[in-house]
Amino acid sequence: MPIDNMFPENGPAGEAGLFEMAPAKINLALHVTGQRADGYHLLESIVTFADRGDVLSFTAAEADDFIVSGRFAHFVPTDAAEGDGNLVPQARDLLRRTLADRGISTTPVAIHLEKNLPVAAGIGGGSADAAATLRGLLRFWEASLPEPELIALCLFLGADVPMCLKGEALMARGIGEELAALPTLPSLPLVLGNPLIGVSTPDIFRRLLRKDNPSIGARDDDWVPFLKTLRNDLEPPARSLVREIDQISNMIGAEGAMLTRMSGSGATCFGIFPSLETARKAVDSLNEQKPDWYFQAVQTIGTEP
């Protein structure tokens, strides 16, 4: 089930515009295996994507526009300033300059981001939005780029953007640019939970005591038992910074999850459940316990179980 099939498209851009899903990215395992001389950390991560996430729409306009709505809209900036700005207009401007250098004209576009995912949550919200912007605008402008050039644009925007652009179950290595598909990874019913406390990725890496941890090693296609042997090396420092991670992980585990773990740099935790029905029942229970937190039942992409 690739990203293209997750959300109904309107077809070619017109007055109705077109849509792109920016699905939640889940690191089922994340091993920190080293650090480069330039400070970037070397990772090995098993990554999958959910059937829920942010949604972007692209509509013809007289001038560029960017608006944000949704549950978490008030947490995100709308300007394109590097550093603290939003990656959506940054991706738009970067792609437009790149296409202009190739003699490809680009018309003004109004972009609407429906922000459904919590921010600074370890599930790739900003990176997924940037990747969806690139996908959507290439369709909107009826343009294309060679894959190496497109991946270079992604890396300029962030280390997680290339994997979000792919949007498939994969193994990510290096700083996120070495991607290998995992065609046997099954579709998994998950519960995502976040206490709505933002986590700074640089802070987590600064607290990481060891940066040359063992790699993931040989893959076993009996996936859930195999995943149980792995880890997220960023979870201990994140737990020391945000105590609610312990609580939310324990809460999801108490609902019957077969495995609980933190995704990315946190604070989102996930639990793997026997079925989507049991995951949804777990979310109902969790929402009763913590109505102000974020809980979502999702089905990930992958082969049918």
pLDDT band at 5 (very low <50, low <70, confident <90, very high): very low
Model pTM score: 0.92
Residue 301, amino acid? I
The residue type found at 68 is: V
pLDDT tens profile 75-125: 998 887 766 789 999 999 999 999 999 999 999 999 999 999 999 899 999
Task: Answer yes or no: is pLDDT of 296 > 60.
Answer: yes
The per-residue pLDDT for range 221-276, each reduced to its tens digit, is: 899 999 999 999 999 999 999 999 999 999 999 999 999 999 999 999 999 999 99
Q: What is the pLDDT of residue 15?
A: 45
Question: Cβ(43)–Cβ(175) under 8 Å?
Answer: yes
Look up residue 227 and give its two tokens. 């995943």
Pick the catalytic residue from 129, 160, 166, 233: 160
pLDDT-above-90 percentage for the chain: 83
User: Which residue, 223, 50, 34, is CA-closest to 121?
Assistant: 50
Per-residue model confidence (pLDDT) at position 185: 96
What was the pLDDT predicted at 9? 40
- The average confidence (pLDDT) of the chain is 92
Residue-wise pLDDT tens digits, 18-29: 999 999 999 999
Q: Is the pLDDT of residue 12 over 60?
A: no
pLDDT at residue 17 in the model: 72
Higher local confidence (pLDDT), 35 or 14: 35
Catalytic residue among 25, 51, 129, 233: 25
pLDDT reported for residue 133: 98
Alpha-carbon gap, residue 179 to 155, rounded angstroms: 13
d(CA 195, CA 198): 9
Catalytic annotation present for 115? no
Q: Annotated catalytic, 25?
A: yes
Rounded distance between C-alpha atoms, residue 106 and residue 100, angstroms = 8
| Predicted pLDDT of residue 13 | 37
Read off the pLDDT of residues 28-70 as tens digits, 9 standing for 90 and up.
999 999 999 888 899 999 999 999 999 999 999 999 999 999 9
Provide the pLDDT for residue 27: 98
Q: How many CB atoms within 10 Å of residue 101? A: 8
